Amino acid sequence: MRAAGLPAFHVALIYELHENKIIMPDSSAAMFASVSAVTFDAGGTLVVPDPSVSAIYSEVFSQHGIASDPVSVEIAFRRAWRKFGIEGRGPTNEAREITKWRRIVAATLEGLDPPDDFDALFDDLWQTFSEPRRWRVREGGVEVLSHLNARGIRLAVLSNWDSRLRPLLNGLGLAEYFEAFFISSEIGWEKPHPRIFQVAAAHFGLPASGILHVGDSIEEDFEGARTAGWNAVLIDAENVEHLSNAPLRDGLPKITGLRKLPDLIWSGMETRPPPQ
């Protein structure tokens, strides 16, 4: 989660949660025939908050003497995210991220007893979401990253987040699988802005058709990548407060578990690459 809140969990998608299922439009497998690099969104794609954003908020609120329940907090958080998170997307940096999340936390607190010290509460939320114990790697995550690495697929993280992402992924045992991290607060633009995809493409030195982006947001991940000319696939929601108004659309390549990603990539290739 970025600055006291969850980073870019923005898709109101309801997928069939049949484990490890691939949902592909007709003839879409050929899209992935030339993929040699894969970028991953972080929140909701590689990792999810544990147990949930609203439960963690309620816990921290309680530590500051504020009574709340996770259901009410989730409703307030969604409203705050839509106002300050989604609508506020665009140029960014570390300071802007903190300012945005202070607004989101303040709005989430509306209707509850005011904290004695808002700064202290905010700092505690910011810190707690930087801790690996507050996150869980999605099922099959390590297995899939290791599998793709072994077959020569180049991997990177491309995420709307802040400076806490690298140490968080390192603490979760994921950082070693990635050759690069493209983080919005460092690049200066959030997905779906083309700039963050352009920076990643320049790093890989590959044609757009050679890069696949995996994420859980239609607008930020799928449309952002496709606008950049990349391949893209959506992954299902898991234990995440999805916060955008984007409608579910049929005919988009999507998977309901990370374990099916290699099959999706190899499906477009005549020969599956051997381990290196």
pLDDT surpasses 70 at 241 = no
pLDDT band for position 27 (50/70/90)? very low
pLDDT surpasses 70 at 5 = no
Q: To the nearest 5 percent, what fractions of the chain are helix, strand and coil?
A: 45, 15, 45
Q: Are 36 and 187 in contact (CB under 8 A)?
A: no
Q: Which CATH superfamily is domain 22-49+134-266 in?
A: HAD superfamily/HAD-like (3.40.50.1000)
pLDDT band for position 39 (50/70/90)? very high
- Of 128-137, 146-155, 228-237, 250-259, the one with minimum mean pLDDT is 250-259
Query: Other CB atoms closer than 10 Å to residue 133's CB: what's the count?
Result: 9
- Of 33-42, 206-215, 227-236, 260-269, the one with minimum mean pLDDT is 260-269
Same fold, 22-49+134-266 and 53-133: no
**CATH code assigned to 53-133:** 1.10.150
Provide the whole-model pTM.
0.85
Query: Packing angle between helix 118-128 and helix 94-108, nearest 10 degrees?
Result: 110
